Amino acid sequence: MKLRVVLALTVMASSRAMTLAYIARAGDGGPGDPPEAWLMPLIGDAAVGLTALVVAVLIWRVRTAASWVVAVVWSAIGAFDALAAFIVETSAPWPDFFMLEIFGRTMFFMAAGMQVLIIYLLSRPDVVADFGITQADRSSPGKPRLV
């Protein structure tokens, strides 16, 4: 069940790729265009969104220790990007972005929360075992042994 939630949240994160539509318009100054300061958070969102489906396939089909690490690192980057976007929003607001009009600044914390929830669920012992990482692997820090 936990792995299904991880998969669902990972697929949901692919919606962050919609920011591709705004990258070229950052700083143009037209109605609805993002301020120039938004360029990096937009690129981060696009990267997280575009790679989400790859990470979902790794979680669904290629359950190895390496795919587990990729999923955890991807989620950490996604959480960092969402919180960085919040910081950018506080210093260079984007007044006409429909997601901000709907959810307000809580959307950044919802996105970061989803990523942190993925990390939490991936760290549960039964999920870790699904990736072929055994207790013996985790108890010998000097000798990594991945199954």
* Average pLDDT score, the chain: 89
Residue 8 is classified by DSSP as: H
| Rounded alpha-carbon distances, angstroms, from residue 107 to 16, 33, 60 | 12, 19, 27
**Which tens digits make up the pLDDT trace of 90-129?**
998 877 776 777 777 888 999 999 999 999 999 999 999 9
Residue-level pLDDT at 63? 93
Residue-level pLDDT at 96? 75
Residue-level pLDDT at 142? 59
Residue 67 has a CB neighbour count (10 Å cut-off) of 18
Residue 78 above 60 pLDDT? yes
Residue 146 above 60 pLDDT? no
Domain segments of the chain: what residues?
A: 2-15+36-139
Q: How would residue 28 be classed by pLDDT, with cut points 50, 70 and 90?
A: confident
**Which tens digits make up the pLDDT trace of 43-74?**
999 999 999 999 999 999 999 999 999 999 99
